[in-house]
Structure 1
């Protein structure tokens, strides 16, 4: 398994891509005579990231398209306008009673866990989860929750492991403080984007419901899990009390998250967002982008998966290159190059001649690439030919 660390990946990717990620023509970002923002860069196939992340000029262009398609109505402190439309869309997607816009995924996770837990302090999480590893100990610092990590360095814990951990509490601790909630991240970026098996989710959900334990889903990248497993967003969400989904990782927004769940839980969130400093006057730029890009996104993602299969099948017939999905994985694929291939020159040629950007493999000529909808910017034959010539 090729270990994946988000911060190291971003750091290495940024350094490896630094000479080629500066947008072209940024000086001409706005043409007052045309009253529109032209593209600041040509369409680039990006073999990193979960989806398109726009440069400022491109972002403004995309918003113009969204506004032309359906006039954008601004919100006021997250109420009304396009925010309301987006919340309705996510209720439809997840099958939940109510949804609310959040400024960040960390806030969505932490507020959901805090409300679900009530006055009970223990929250069981994956050892590799974002909640446990990447949210600055917010659960402990702000909400007085004690995170109980399970399955060290693994993608997920099993229902049996959860049951055993809870059953053993009476032997391991003198004072009972109560089990507030269980949180599951799916898929897990710290384990190369691998997903939690649906059957295990079903077992955990059944156990939690039979024991009156609330269950939260950190589904920041849930669209990735859904696309690669064939399990719908609605089915995944049905096993959990609350579900969070990111708006910027693949829907093009510059920030934002959606938290979905029962009305009695979501109705408490607006006040909590305010007192934790997350109530922004206008959120429409992010909501409008996500709502616009959401249309047809699942189809585009499935088309990208099919394109990736074709590309890998063709390239794997060539000597010196092997691309394949990770076992139990989603959109992170391994790439291995023969020792005699100059990866640095290959990376440069892909970028300079074909507008394809990929992370630099390691010293052993092994690494990862990420499948996303930017694969659809060119025909499969174009991408295969680009790799053939660049190798």
Structure 2
């Protein structure tokens, strides 16, 4: 299972990755010609706008409707964004947080109360990428399930619960079951909806609370054909990132019952997350959230067709994950130098692909930039690039 380590990610992307909004730099013949050679990026989950493009977009947004600054994550343009997310998830209330880590940790802490056990995927961001905050800051005991796998089953959870219930003399309560969907460390594989339903029904019966780390939930929804509200309804709280694929610079939205979210403002303050102005993130996210579900659904359809056509090349082989979302691995023939292939695609066709091959495979991340070009143009670019490097 590929491990999407952020530092390795940056190394594999290379320093010459073209921001998706740079003017086209065409050093050779595009295949076939289009009015403008719109860039396609197979490295990121979102648009990955450059600072210049973000500034231009903010100017454009402000001209259409004046951006109203928030006050510590409330009021102004932020209020409209929070209402969007409340409707999107079907929850009673939403609140802005500066980071996804804070959203996850505060949700787990508040839902757990005095209970200490928190069951999580071993591959989850909460367990592997949040610096043991649950243990060191919030005094929660993370219990990892299904090592190396993107999801655990109800039976796995029940077995773990029985193991700790039967094996401990001095017992502590079960606070939360936390689920990440999709799972970054498992190449964006999703947690099957039917398993979520089973786990949620069991936890409701037992009185256990549920939290959803949905940093990239838009991608899971689009590629699995499940609405965000359908995913969210099985959890007490859900966090969605504003920058993974929504288009902001940073930030997160946590949604849930009013009784829980109303307590978060104080928790954000005492944990150092109260930021005076957040209007840059709210304005960008509010702009890009409109139509995002439809655009990503179109991306999923286009990705499926692109995979089908690229698989007709004898030099390439793409096999999607059974529970995959926007990430696939492409096996490249040993006859091809992938670094050269990547360089040609970037220089001649404005298609940005990783240079690094791991175990003979290259990871492709599908995002909105796939809609910049027709499938036949992308396929033609690969055909020409392969011919050039063979």
Report the TM-score, using the length of structure 2 for normalisation: 0.92
Q: Is the 8 A contact 2:19 2:49 kept in 1?
A: no
Farther-moved stretch of structure 1 (64-73 vs 51-60): 64-73
Instruction: Kindly report the root-mean-square deviation, in angstroms, between the aligned alpha carbons of the 2 structures.
Output: 1.8
Deviation at 1:195, TM superposition (A): 0.7
Find the counterpart in structure 2 of residue 354 from structure 1: 349
Unaligned runs of 5+ in 2: 24-36
Find the counterpart in structure 1 of residue 29 from structure 2: none
Q: Is the 8 A contact 2:67 2:77 kept in 1?
A: yes
Q: Is the 8 A contact 2:320 2:329 kept in 1?
A: yes
Find the counterpart in structure 1 of residue 167 from structure 2: 172
The whole-number CA distance in structure 2 between the counterparts of 1:43 and 1:280 is 36
Find the counterpart in structure 2 of residue 304 from structure 1: 299
Matched, 1:18 2:27: no
The whole-number CA distance in structure 2 between the counterparts of 1:7 and 1:225 is 20
The whole-number CA distance in structure 2 between the counterparts of 1:330 and 1:101 is 26
Out of 68, 71, 74, the residue aligned to residue 76 of structure 1 is: 71
Matched, 1:376 2:371: yes
Summarize the Cα distance change of 1:176–1:97 in structure 2 as closer, same or farther, 3 Å threshold. same
Out of 223, 226, 231, the residue aligned to residue 228 of structure 1 is: 223
Q: Is the 8 A contact 1:339 1:364 kept in 2?
A: no
Matched, 1:251 2:246: yes
The whole-number CA distance in structure 2 between the counterparts of 1:150 and 1:318 is 39
Find the counterpart in structure 1 of residue 40 from structure 2: 45
Summarize the Cα distance change of 1:139–1:290 in structure 2 as closer, same or farther, 3 Å threshold. same
Unaligned runs of 5+ in 1: 27-41
Summarize the Cα distance change of 1:168–1:312 in structure 2 as closer, same or farther, 3 Å threshold. closer
Find the counterpart in structure 1 of residue 278 from structure 2: 283
Cα deviation 1:226-279 (Å, max 9, x = unaligned): 011111100100000000000000111110000000000000000110111111
The whole-number CA distance in structure 2 between the counterparts of 1:185 and 1:21 is 30
Q: Is the 8 A contact 2:120 2:179 kept in 1?
A: yes
Find the counterpart in structure 2 of residue 201 from structure 1: 196
Deviation at 1:24, TM superposition (A): 9.6
Matched, 1:191 2:190: no
Number of aligned residues = 373
Q: Is the 8 A contact 1:47 1:358 kept in 2?
A: yes
Q: Is the 8 A contact 1:343 1:365 kept in 2?
A: no
Find the counterpart in structure 2 of residue 159 from structure 1: 154
Report the TM-score, using the length of structure 1 for normalisation: 0.92
Find the counterpart in structure 2 of residue 85 from structure 1: 80
Matched, 1:324 2:319: yes
Find the counterpart in structure 2 of residue 128 from structure 1: 123
The whole-number CA distance in structure 2 between the counterparts of 1:364 and 1:136 is 29
Matched, 1:4 2:12: no
Partner secondary structure for residue 325 of structure 1: coil
Find the counterpart in structure 1 of residue 261 from structure 2: 266
The whole-number CA distance in structure 1 between the counterparts of 2:158 and 2:361 is 39
Cα deviation 1:65-116 (Å, max 9, x = unaligned): 2223332111011110111111100010000000000100000000000000
